[in-house]
C-alpha cells in the first residue's frame, strides 16, 4: 500500500511475505490451522502497534502522540528523500527509537 494524502502521519512496516497462521475450513467442525505467507496492511499494522506498545512500556511518561512522533522521526527513510506519498516517514525502526 501507499500513504498518499496521509503521508504526514504515515509510517511503513513489513507487510509482504509475512509467515502467519491461517484457518482453513468452512465450519467450526472442520477448522484446521495452517501456515501461509500473507501480504498487506493486516500484516503491517501489528508491527506498528507492537512497536508503539514496546515504546509506551519503555517510556511510560510519554503520551501516545509523543510516542508516535518518536516512531515517525526515527523511521528509516525510503523512496524520495523526506516524507513522501509512498512510504510516509519511512520504515519503522524500533532499534533506533
The mean pLDDT of 47-70, rounded to a whole number, is 97
Average pLDDT for 40-55: 95
Hey, CA dihedral for 49, 52, 58, 64, is it positive or negative? negative
Q: Is the pLDDT of residue 74 over 90?
A: yes
Q: How much is the pLDDT for 90?
A: 95
Q: Can you say whether the dihedral through the CA atoms of 79, 82, 86, 91 is positive or negative?
A: positive
Instruction: Choose the weakest-confidence range: 16-20, 27-31, 81-85.
Output: 27-31
Amino acid at each position: 500500500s501507499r500513504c498518499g494524502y496521509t503521508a504526514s502521519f504515515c509510517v511503513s512496516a513489513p507487510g509482504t511475505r509475512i509467515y502467519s497462521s491461517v484457518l482453513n475450513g468452512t465450519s467450526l467442525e472442520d477448522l484446521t490451522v495452517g501456515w501461509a505467507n500473507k501480504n498487506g496492511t493486516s500484516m503491517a499494522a501489528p508491527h506498528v502497534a507492537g512497536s508503539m506498545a514496546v515504546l509506551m512500556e519503555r517510556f511510560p511518561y510519554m503520551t501516545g502522540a509523543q510516542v508516535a512522533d518518536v516512531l515517525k522521526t526515527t523511521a528509516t527513510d525510503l523512496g524520495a528523500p523526506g516524507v513522501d506519498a509512498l512510504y510516509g516517514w519511512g520504515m519503522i525502526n524500533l532499534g533506533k527509537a
